[in-house]
Structure 1
């Protein structure tokens, strides 16, 4: 007897979503009926590459890029495909109620935190920024409300000392290892556990100016921000009118001085006092320029930056 495949709709936009879709496509247990992804945007932060990945699949699977899933056009098109489950990975917009109700078993969302902590747009970055030692994946039932649905399964992972790229790759691998089994479980009637909403925290969207180093912060806080924002917006400080990105940043010592004052600037690094110690920056990037190491940084700015100067 031929076993019926599980019919899946998929909604996602960045590469991390495409990786999940690729995993599902490898299985002979699933049939992907359609793909929803965000409309093409101007090139930036890898978006054009990600869109092209999904577009390649349009030769064999319908790919829709609706600007508004609430439109009659979107509902008419998508509702014509009968699916057992909609799998959502970083789609980028709220899923309307009609689409939540459309699949037989609802919508499975992959969220990159241990819910109810870090609901929202930037769970990995905010967990790193706050110095969390533990994070993970939550496979949840998507409902109205921001990441408030019941959770089918959680997977924990140690993220201590890791930057965004490392955490993203770690959690991606954990999720890819479980996505197929979780889809099977949900379509077999697995129960989901309600979240404790009183314990919820939120991971707000990151704004560019958050990357600016506040020298009044602690060494640990500055280092965590550097690790969290290594992809975007990156951490930066000002040298005169120029925004300088810190590309390699360390906690140097616990020596106390005036926050923002240059402790030393030499061929080894730029060292700056913060609230409870000294931060060392070993490579930087000036606007429109390539990343340069500490020696080139010193040689190019030794007449502008001196010991005792205050950085803002």
Structure 2
């Protein structure tokens, strides 16, 4: 399974889905939020369209990275699995039954949350207790990463750690460290980790599963990731767009609330246009008579 391809593909699909949802919601409800006579929505829509097109164009270099991946890079990625000596290759990766009287336990020291940074080394401790009558010789510790919803889907085989002259006498407990690193191209999320220890008793191979549970793979390098940068950029643009919309709404409300020009009606002053309109009428004649009496 090409982990580089999975990581880039999932990132691209995530970005495209977010852009599509925001684009659909905005242009579906734009008529509800904006007035037809307001000029602000036209400018905001143009800015948002340019922003969406720019985000879509940013996805094409990621597709080119996937297409241009060479076979040499794939071989280098495969080398991260480690090289197992020929004398233990028959044991590692086998399917042996557990021996009676052997108990195992697993502990993530200083990492109770089982958080595994992609591409960085993670240590766990494998505890073994031999309650049998014969000593056991530890051959190797191996692990693999699977999809949580389908355990048959293998994501990555981790490095097998081989032990020389490691034995557990009867009625004795021993602890063995196991250091592993998931691929740096693994998409952050929840995965299943299956760890087994291979050993032999009286020259007969056995294996016991010391861990079969979930781990949380996170992106190395802190809190910054491709998805977080994308969402922050998108959030800033939406905040700016919301500010423009609020500004337009205040401007529209202020225009409506402007006071209309008042016309004063009184006996002392009359409008010139009103006098011209009333010339020749009874109202104009009565007004002139009253002025003469004064």
Under TM normalisation by the shorter chain, which class is it?
under 0.3
Using the size of structure 1 for normalisation, the TM-score is 0.19
Higher normalized contact order (CA 8 Å, seq sep 6+, divided by chain length):
2
CA radius of gyration, larger in: 2
